[in-house]
Amino acid sequence: MSGPELKGSCHCGAVHITVAGPPAQVTKCNCSLCRRTGWIGGYWHPDAVTVKAAPDALNPYVQGDRMITTWNCRTCGSHSHWTPITASPDRMGVNMRMFDPADWRHLPVQEVDGAKF
Ligand SMILES: [Zn+2]
């Protein structure tokens, strides 16, 4: 991870996310959740991510295997990030779509076949 920090937000501005720097790559996944939310992921250690939001601004969504909590804005619905439950505590995901596309569209894209899991 290198470069300047990235600052992003949900559509309505209730949720602000800052990450320490751009990821080495972004991830597109075809799983049942990502394909519906248009998720394009970047991954960081939780220490490298700051989420600023009022206590009730974020809605948690936990599915199936209960490995992660996916968070979306209660006001505008934007899917902003996920945090681990039973998944590795060393990693969390942020939806790159919360950032200016100029910050990440040049990065390599990893296609993950999440639908088969
Ligand atoms: Zn919002």
Q: What would the mean pLDDT of 90-101 be, rounded to a whole number?
A: 97
The string of pLDDT tens digits covering residues 24-41 is: 999 999 999 999 999 999
**Closest to 15 in 3D by CA, of 106, 101, 97, 86:** 97
The pLDDT of residue 116 is 76
pLDDT value at 3 more than 70: no
| Spatial distance between the Cα atoms of 94 and 24, rounded to a whole number of angstroms | 13
Q: Is residue 82 within 8 Å of residue 98, measured between CB atoms?
A: no
pLDDT digits (tens, 9 = 90+) for 70-82: 999 999 999 999 9
CA of 9 to the centre of ligand 1 (A): 8
72 CA distance to ligand 1 middle (Å): 8
Tokens of 66: 């209960």
Cα 116 to ligand 1 centre (Å): 31
CA atoms within 13 A on the CB side of 70: 15
Please check the confidence at residue 1 and state whether its pLDDT lies above 80. Answer: no
Q: Measure 6 CA to ligand 1 centroid, in angstroms.
A: 18
Q: CATH classification of 6-116 is 2.170.150.70, yes or no? A: yes
Q: Using a pLDDT cut of 70, give the percent of the chain over it.
A: 97
CA neighbor of 9 nearest in space, from 103, 99, 105, 102: 99
The pLDDT assigned to 115 comes to: 83
Strand partners, 6: 19
How far is it, in rounded angstroms, from Cα 18 to Cα 87? 22
Predicted local confidence at residue 2, as pLDDT = 52
